[in-house]
Structure 1
């Protein structure tokens, strides 16, 4: 897995509060963005993309008791934040796998692939990591198209499209707190595109 090596973990309780500290190797290279959403087109090699596909595929096969996204959250948040779609929300057969959980451009390193910020990893809807990276690329259509092509194995099909709706739900919710407000129009457009496609394909719905 292309991540800094974990060297040391310390946990302690002080003043009634629990603390945990982790010491990692210094990451080689530089983050591809200073923010989760892209502000400039990254220049990435075929080897970088190949490494990312391999990492996501390997990660998805791990078994863990950790959770990145909870079904109860989806049941509560998706109807509320996707109500603007004006119709039934699609569902897919339960398909969950292990994910990084926060795979955006500020957590990816280049020119040699590195993945940072692992504290939130755990189970999530299948395709979640690829969907998150794709959605955070929507402000730069050319890069979004490249992500869609390079990570098509995770994004194509009902499960990948459902994962996009999950991610869009989360970002629309966070926008209500003032995060990435500029993405709201493009998030709503993308949600409509994904939803219409799933409806046309006859995806089961609530």
Structure 2
């Protein structure tokens, strides 16, 4: 990975900076700060996959997002270049993006402390996701087949009808968000999802902090409404599924409470 990262830097004409190496899950990705030939700060991320799996939604997510959204009025790091390489059955994609120097709001996707964010941040965040929601795409973040299977399995109720499908980032949590200025990171998995999906996802990752969780619901009034039930039950099922696999155990009790509320709201 380091050798291919260095080759990608040369191909994209950037210089990586020492001491900033960041490895992703299971060594699948390697990122590092860099500077372009013009001296602009950038981030060079390398992702690897078996050559026969180097396609599809996650592989093309960042590139598709650049074509669909650009920099989203400054709220999304622009993709500056892409370089693909293949070696002994493995595919490598290097993505050069504008660097985000602002720290994320949490080191963990699950919020561990209350946040005091200004009303302007919440207004900008909701407006940004509204712009995302109306972008036309054939990408799919949540499949009806998954909802039909997972919601009965983990919540014990039939999957609610989806009143409206919209476009979602689909991985909105506190480790993907910055404060001032507001940035939303990691656009691998975006696509169609039930209305309110991004708000419901952020709410799920905020369950340990009731005050901030209430602020999430205030920012996204679709949550708690009949139109938002499909998104909320889907997100709750997704997180309960991760708990069943031994992840996000800190959320287990709060997710159970949420699922009981969702069952009561079932028509």
TM score, norm. by length of structure 1: 0.88
Matched, 1:23 2:89: no
Determine the structure 1 residue equivalent to 2:124.
51
CA offsets 1:147-193 (integer angstroms, 9 cap, x no match): 111221x3242221221110010011111222111211110111111
8 Å CA contact retained: 2:109, 2:174: yes
Q: Could you tell me how far apart the structure 1 residues matched to 2:195 and 2:84 are?
A: 32
Determine the structure 1 residue equivalent to 2:226.
158
Compute the displacement of 1:14 (Å): 2.0
Q: Could you tell me how far apart the structure 2 residues matched to 1:76 and 1:89 are?
A: 9
Matched, 1:80 2:153: yes
8 Å CA contact retained: 2:200, 2:232: yes
Q: Could you tell me how far apart the structure 1 residues matched to 2:236 and 2:94 are?
A: 31
8 Å CA contact retained: 1:90, 1:195: no
Q: Could you tell me how far apart the structure 2 residues matched to 1:64 and 1:148 are?
A: 26
> Which of 101, 115, 137 is the equivalent residue of 2:206?
137
Compute the displacement of 1:194 (Å): 2.1
8 Å CA contact retained: 2:164, 2:195: yes
Q: Describe the SS at the equivalent of 2:178.
A: strand
Q: Could you tell me how far apart the structure 2 residues matched to 1:102 and 1:155 are?
A: 17
Q: Could you tell me how far apart the structure 2 residues matched to 1:13 and 1:67 are?
A: 27
Q: CA RMSD in A?
A: 1.5
Q: Which runs of 5+ in 2 are unaligned?
A: 1-71
Determine the structure 1 residue equivalent to 2:190.
121
Q: Which runs of 5+ in 1 are unaligned?
A: none
Q: Describe the SS at the equivalent of 1:54.
A: helix
Which structure has the bigger radius of gyration?
2
TM score, norm. by length of structure 2: 0.69
The higher relative CO (CA closer than 8 Å, separation ≥ 6) is in 1
Determine the structure 1 residue equivalent to 2:46.
none
